[in-house]
Amino acid sequence: MDKVDYYVPFDLQPYQGSSLLMDVFTPGDRRTIGDISYHTCWKKLKYAEEIDTTNHESFRPAYHHTPAYGWMNDPNGMFYKDGVWHLYYQYNPYGSQWENMSWGHSTSSDLIHWQTQPLALEPDALGTIFSGSCVVDKENTAGFGKNAIVAFYTSAGARQVQSLAYSTDDGRTFTKYPGNPIITSQAPDFRDPHVFWNEEAGHWNLILAAGQQMSIYSSTNLKEWKHESDFGANYGNHNGVWECPDLFPLPVEGTDKTKWMLICNINPGGPWGGSAAQYFIGTFDGKTFTCEDDPQETKWMDYGKDHYATVSFDNAPDGRRVAIAWMSNWQYANLVPTRQFRSANSIARELGLFEYQGETYCSVRPVREMDAFRGKQIARPTETCEIVVTLKGDAQLTLRNGKGEKVVISYNEAEGSIDFDRRRSGEGSFSDAFPTIITSPTYGEVRQLRIFIDRCSMELFDGDGKMAMTNLVFPSEPYNRLSIQGKAKARIYSLQK
């Protein structure tokens, strides 16, 4: 087809006055006959003083973070400093499928409205830029300056190694450390370093995914790292690759206890197929994580189909543990019905711990900034709204549009479960794995359910944080009708732009 879906920019300014040779790769069998010079991308190539990033997608979320154009997956390097939340992400600036992994960058003052910043990290001789983390080095332990931002990421070339970069302008630009790589291994899957300051131990810790386990390191200067221990053998779900870890302490609600939670994202192996985030509860002494859970038990942070690569912000204020997930699933992430961009992140979530029937679980709530985002009460659902449901037992909620497309949400109090049926939610023919019924345990009675709708997604939260479920939907027109069966009442609120 002699048609352009969208344009992306390649900045020539850095190459003024010098020669430029570009290697262009087209993965997959894109063309079986004819010469590459006849491809539409070459015939439509053109110069421009600026690029039009106007949204041309009906499914682009209104209040979730998305890239201006191109492909996005895992959130990376998130930190808070001087009133600004910084979100980096796995990014392909030259297409809307996975490739050319770099770090994109966006900033926000309220975790809702995001401003796109220049590209932060690009591939180099060590490889493309895979997932990682950032820390605020308040005491200049690395020698890059007080309050320097230090980034850790996987360089994915001939093998996967860990690299470091630093910023002295609050994360706007980075300088790559000349001593890279800082950690190496012969393991084929060795990636996604997450670094944090361990106050009790008095040193930095780093946790990364190494095959089917997590490896833990320590350091005093962020450059030289000592391997301390490994965790994961015979614990939890091992039906896929372990990725994107995080490790932090949390208070247990209603008690004086503090426990550590280790997040382990896995793909495939999720409860409903494909990608998901599992977690483990235990203790950590700065060297070894000891899990208190039954080794055969798997705890999922979110039982939806579209919640992956969950990691938290460094240096969040007021002791908050704020996390964001990639809102898609590797079963169909490259196939969803958008072109100018793929994909979106979840709304930011506040993490905690609660006890239920003798065990400790992760609580997940929308960040409090979402409360201030709530507008006036309205009569009908819209493409961007929040529905607050008060429950007094079994109930079924159906959201539908004029085309007969619908989502059915069912609460069964006796079974302690919530079902989300998206088999007739709209467009879903792009993957056999998309039309499905998804079920989540509730860990007790649900008395309030919060539902956030944003054009192509629905995120469900128990009012007490005991259940979260994140799912994509692609209706041909917005759901504008809500019907309820059972003991439930609903209020619908607009959401401010």
Q: Is 123 exposed, middle or buried (0-12, 13-18, 19+ CB in 10 A)?
A: middle
User: Is 470 a domain residue?
Assistant: yes
Position 159 scores a pLDDT of 95
Last residue of a domain, one of 366, 387, 405: 366
Q: What is the CATH number of the domain that holds 483?
A: 2.60.120.560
Domain count, the chain: 2
User: Is 259 a domain residue?
Assistant: yes
Position 207 scores a pLDDT of 98
pTM of the model: 0.95
Last residue of a domain, one of 349, 366, 383: 366
User: Is 246 a domain residue?
Assistant: yes
Residue 301 shares a structural domain with residue 378: no
CA atoms of 324 and 193, how far apart (whole Å): 17
User: Is 181 a domain residue?
Assistant: yes
Q: What is the domain extent for residue 361?
A: 70-366
- What DSSP letter does each residue of 49-66 carry, written as one string? SS-------TTS-SSS--
Position 18 scores a pLDDT of 83
Position 389 scores a pLDDT of 98
Position 26 scores a pLDDT of 62
CA angle 95, 96, 98 (to 5 degrees): 90
Residue 119 shares a structural domain with residue 242: yes
CA atoms of 106 and 89, how far apart (whole Å): 8
Last residue of a domain, one of 366, 383, 407: 366
Residue 265 shares a structural domain with residue 385: no
Residue 333 shares a structural domain with residue 404: no
Residue 336 shares a structural domain with residue 446: no
Cite the active site residues.
74
Residue 315 shares a structural domain with residue 459: no
Measure Cα distances from 86 to 19, 64, 107, 175, 189 in Å.
Answer: 35, 15, 5, 17, 27
Position 49 scores a pLDDT of 81
User: Is 109 a domain residue?
Assistant: yes
Position 267 scores a pLDDT of 97
Residue 210 shares a structural domain with residue 153: yes
> In one letter, which amino acid is 320?
R
Position 155 scores a pLDDT of 98
Residue 441 shares a structural domain with residue 467: yes
pLDDT by 10-residue block (mean), the chain, 497 residues? 73 80 64 62 77 87 96 98 98 94 98 97 97 98 98 97 98 98 95 98 98 97 98 97 98 98 98 98 98 97 98 98 98 96 97 98 98 96 98 98 98 98 98 98 98 98 98 98 97 91
Position 337 scores a pLDDT of 97
HSE at residue 114, side-chain half, CA atoms within 13 A, is 25
Position 232 scores a pLDDT of 97
Measure Cα distances from 70 to 2, 74, 341, 495 in Å.
Answer: 20, 14, 5, 26
User: Is 211 a domain residue?
Assistant: yes
User: Is 54 a domain residue?
Assistant: no
